[in-house]
A and B are shown apart, each in its own frame.
Chain A
Amino acid sequence: DGGITQSPKYLFRKEGQNVTLSCEQNLNHDAMYWYRQDPGQGLRLIYYSHIVNDFQKGDIAEGYSVSREKKESFPLTVTSAQKNPTAFYLCASSRDRYYEQYFGPGTRLTVT
């Protein structure tokens, strides 16, 4: 079954801790993306990667970091520098940057 998996579904952390969100795809897609969605808000692009071993900052990259060492994996680390990390985090992938994106189920992060 091809698709995008994100884990965990729910994540709780204390303020000041770094946390890594997992995103894996078996669609053989070149491009992968991380978005953040706050209640009642649209999608905001955090980081994107159009090809393995390369990634770029999106619109709200401060306080986040990523890696793209394997084509199928694009983990996101939410660092303690992110001032308001509680949100719904969505990972997406596409064949390349010009094609439709497919989303994983998301991770809901709560930091207290």
Chain B
Amino acid sequence: QKEVEQNSGPLSVPEGAIASLNCTYSDRGSQSFFWYRQYSGKSPELIMSIYSNGDKEDGRFTAQLNKASQYVSLLIRDSQPSDSATYLCAVNPRNYGGSQGNLIFGKGTKLSVKP
């Protein structure tokens, strides 16, 4: 059973701090990794994609991937109250052939940024 694990939180950080969200996955052959942000009552929104080991930065967001350790993380610098949301990690296990290969989503980490 392929799994994606996240700490459910809530993770509480003060405004201006760095929020660090972590995700581990079980399928060593996974090829692509995504972070989604979901505000309460809304649908998930894609915020970061990462495909190779290392860091990928986009504005205040940095995604980090370590395939050897099977984890992917999301750092949010200068956290704002508007960043308060649930963050979903998604992994593509990439089964070649067959009808699988769909993204597997973690259950999400709830982030609260306090003013």
A interface list, Cβ under 8 A from B: 33, 41-43, 45, 48, 50, 56, 58, 90, 94, 97-106
Contacts and interface: CB of A to CB of B under 8 A. Distances in A.
Interface residues of B, number: 22
Contacts of B52: none
Nearest to B93: A98
13 contacts: A42-B88, A42-B106, A43-B44, A56-B99, A97-B102, A98-B92, A98-B101, A99-B32, A100-B34, A100-B103, A101-B34, A102-B46, A103-B43
B112 to A, nearest CB: 15
Contacts, number: 46
A42 B102 contact: no
A105 B43 contact: yes
Contacts of A42: 88, 105-108
Interface of B: 31-32, 34, 36, 42-46, 49, 88, 90, 92, 94, 99, 101-103, 105-108
Nearest to A41: B107
Contacts of A99: 32
Given A43-B88, A56-B99, A106 B42 contact: yes
A98 B36 CA distance: 16
A103 B45 contact: yes
A98 B32 contact: yes
Contacts of B105: 42-43
B101 A97 contact: yes
B8 to A, nearest CB: 9
A106 B43 contact: yes
Nearest to A43: B105
A104 B107 contact: no
Given A42-B105, A42-B107, A43-B105, A98 B43 contact: no
